[in-house]
Amino acid sequence: MVLLNADRNVNNTRRGRERDVPEQVKCLNEFRKRVEAAIPALRRYARALTRDAETADDMVQDTLLRALRSEHLFHGGDTRAWLYTILTNLNRNRLRTLARRPVLAPIKDTDAATGGPESGSRDIARALALLADDQRSALLLVVLEGLTYREVAEVQAVPIGTVMSRLARARSQIKAYLDGEPPVLRRVK
């Protein structure tokens, strides 16, 4: 009850503001348009990050909500890079929470990868799954989303050198995996 009243007030205030300050509305609409234009790329990145369509879209939705909620904090700059930053952070939090909460998974253990290197199932999705989160995100931002090293460094809030070593490690791990070496994180024999 209390919540919705507050909600209604906010909406009224917002409508009032839009009538009074049409300039700002134009600006906001511009921002929203740019957010909208970034959705397909965000979905692509999220899908590759999580390799699960539903999780990915939930994360994209949350990214959009956060971005739109704090659009007043956003003064110029690259909208797309900012959205990638939000999504990257959300994913990091998600994985952290998962790590802390293994309780949630009574799901049957279909670990096909234990079939060994000869099982022919060594595809790129599995390879990505083996990477550390920051490595995976750096690689995807570069090769899939076409960000520059500098942009990735901003998204991940680390120096460019760190981005480069993440890329190098990601690539050599993927190569080792696709070449049929046993994955580092798992004993195959």
Instruction: Print the binding letters for residues 136-155 with other proteins: x by CB under 8 A, - otherwise.
Output: ---xx-xxx---xx------
Task: Write the single-letter amino acid at 130.
Answer: L
Q: Could you tell me the smallest distance in angstroms from the CB atom of residue 76 to other proteins? A: 19
Q: With binding defined as CB under 8 A, does residue 134 bind other proteins?
A: no
The residue among 78 and 176 lying less far from other proteins, judged by its C-beta, is 176
State which of residues 55, 80, 117, 162 lies at the interface with other proteins (CB under 8 A): 55
Instruction: Print the binding letters for residues 57-76 with other proteins: x by CB under 8 A, - otherwise.
Output: xxxxxx-xxx-xx-------
Q: With binding defined as CB under 8 A, does residue 182 bind other proteins?
A: no
> By CB under 8 A, what part of segment 10-49 binds other proteins?
10-11, 14, 32, 35-36, 39-41, 43-44, 47-48
> By CB under 8 A, what part of segment 103-132 binds other proteins?
103-113, 121, 123-129
